[in-house]
Amino acid sequence: MEEEQINNPQHHEHNEHHEPVVHTTEHKNKNNKKWIYIGLGVLIVAAIILLVIAFSGNKIVEVEKYDVDYILSLTNGSNILTGKATVTQDSLSSTLGINSEKINSELTQMNVGEEKTITLSPVDAFGEYDSSKNISSDRINKMERKTTIDRIIDVSLSDFTDVFDEQPIVGKTYKLSSAPWDYKVLSKTEDEVKLSIETNVGKTIPNSIFSSKVVSINDTSIVLEMEGNNTVIPSENGNYEVTFDSEYVYFKLTPTIGQTITLGTITGRVIGMTNDKIFIDANPEYAGQEIILKLKLENKFKEKISYSGSGHIAGAPTMQVFIMSHCPYGTQMVKGVLPVMEKFKGKANIEIRFVGYTMHGAQEELDNNRMICIREEQNAKLIDYLECFVSNTGSEADSKKCISQVGIDNNKLESCLSSRVSGYMDVDKELNTKYGVQGSPTVVIDGEEANIYPRDAQSVANALCAAFKSNKPSECSFSFSTANPSPGFGTGSSTSSGGSCG
């Protein structure tokens, strides 16, 4: 069977370049500007793309929701999906991973307790089968071992003073703990500083998987050569066999037949492979087939939803993280959530919500309210504010420092605190009651409590991606940090995975 698939003349070449997930260690300090890592970009195989969704206005609306039981089956009686879900009128089809708008309208006509059996044509289910979506992709990719980077760097004076906390002195060499080399000031003007990277031939530049060595230096450039031994790197797409020769590093992917993988912008099932090609069927698994849906409406109710500055992505999973701002385990959870929150902008709904009571005094209540106001009225700055907040000490001075550092509109914030925050908090309290929230942190994904241990970013991403019913975004193939954040304020990691306040 595999040979028939491999030799199938209907497969179409897909030349989009894809590479394995190999990452340098992320640097969390916001003051470390991008230019510090000039040259390290050549070691990063997977690029991080931030999609920023603009949304104006803040409102609390009441939407109708439905608790449903469902069974999706083929005409031969084989069940392909069963479960329970809480959906809106427009999200049932996306929850089931199908194309039909028919079932959304059918749902609104049902009475509580009613059962329906709905026959869906391929067009109304997973779509007609499209042979053009049988594609092939390169199984082996390579990188040059040697890379040349510029030795001379021009940076703005403000960037320099932000990083080194002093005015540049011509001829002085500056060290930075997070950088792999030193920087010498060659010249300066009122607005710009010219720097030279100072390093030695033979110096090793560390990386999370492969290091590089400085092999030559001249006045204007530095040549780095990637080092390493033949190895195997596991990934969500399968194992990458890594081999070296004198000029290149080769990455050969071996997925499992039948496995769904994402290569570049293409997601599909692996249906075969040769030594140098992988054949992928990007059609939905049940494309071209008639589907039977058995649906029961268990309950119908209305729920208030706060649409903040982040907007709401219909049909995408919703992860709600309930915390107390000064609970050490709540801040631990936030540290794990923030990288995922940033990466999945526009792809999933990730919300920081608040437990309906406090345990850590007036400062916690004030900081809870500040975060709620920023969430609702200055949402574009929420992630930066939270990153600043959890990395400090939780003092009032540090909270005010973060407000200034992130650029929060303080007049707007104070106005919210005096007149509108209680309305926003009422929505959080209603959600507390609905989901039975009893402590910080509590994570709810699509209406069901989720236990995430440890609380590292990769575990958070895994839980979120498991909630996508179909067509997982490419972000689900991104490798996040597996370092479990330490409880409480500040940075660092910990072996502590559990614990809660409440």
- Per-residue pLDDT tens for 27-78? 444 444 444 444 444 333 332 222 222 223 345 567 788 999 999 999 999 9
Look at residue 168 in the predicted model and tell me its pLDDT: 95
Residue 336 in this model has a pLDDT that exceeds 80: yes
Look at residue 61 in the predicted model and tell me its pLDDT: 62
Closest C-alpha to 139, from 271, 20, 253: 253
C-alpha distances in Å from residue 62, one per residue of 88, 426, 495: 11, 13, 42
Closest C-alpha to 430, from 315, 322, 317: 322
Look at residue 171 in the predicted model and tell me its pLDDT: 96
| Residue keyed to tokens 């290149």 | 248
Q: Which range among 83-87, 92-96, 230-234, 266-270 has the greatest average pLDDT?
A: 230-234
Query: How large is the average pLDDT for residues 394-415?
Result: 91
Look at residue 22 in the predicted model and tell me its pLDDT: 42
Strands (E) across 173-265 are located at 173-174, 182-188, 192-198, 204-205, 212-217, 221-226, 231-235, 238-244, 248-254, 260-263
**CA pair distance 287, 309, nearest whole angstrom:** 37
Look at residue 54 in the predicted model and tell me its pLDDT: 28
Residues of the chain with CATH 3.10.50.40: 59-130+286-302
Residues of the chain with CATH 3.40.30.10: 308-477
Mean pLDDT over each residue of the chain, to the nearest integer? 83
Q: Are 375 and 382 in contact (CB under 8 A)?
A: yes
Confidence of residue 222 (pLDDT cuts 50, 70, 90): very high
Beta bridge partners of 301: 65
| Residue keyed to tokens 């009686």 | 77
Beta bridge partners of 306: 60
User: Cα-flanking dihedrals φ and ψ of residue 179, to 5°?
Assistant: -100, 150
**CA pair distance 450, 109, nearest whole angstrom:** 32
Residue 284 in this model has a pLDDT that exceeds 70: yes
Number of continuous H segments (helices) and E segments (strands) in the chain: 11, 25
Half-sphere exposure of 376 (CA within 13 A, CB side): 27
**CA pair distance 21, 15, nearest whole angstrom:** 18
For the record, the structure tokens of 335 come out as: 């540290």
Query: How large is the average pLDDT for residues 331-336?
Result: 95
How do residues 450-483 score in pLDDT, each as one tens digit?
Answer: 999 899 999 999 999 999 876 788 888 888 888 8
For the record, the structure tokens of 281 come out as: 């069927």
Specify the CATH number of the domain 308-477. 3.40.30.10
**CA pair distance 224, 264, nearest whole angstrom:** 27
What lies within 8 Å, CB to CB, of 218 at 6+ separation is 151
Query: How large is the average pLDDT for residues 79-95?
Result: 82
Confidence of residue 116 (pLDDT cuts 50, 70, 90): very high
Query: How large is the average pLDDT for residues 144-164?
Result: 90
What is the architecture of the domain spanning 59-130+286-302?
Roll (3.10)
More confident residue, 494 or 300: 300
How do residues 430-446 score in pLDDT, each as one tens digit?
Answer: 999 999 999 999 999 99
Confidence of residue 177 (pLDDT cuts 50, 70, 90): confident
Query: How large is the average pLDDT for residues 376-397?
Result: 91
Q: Are 183 and 169 in contact (CB under 8 A)?
A: no
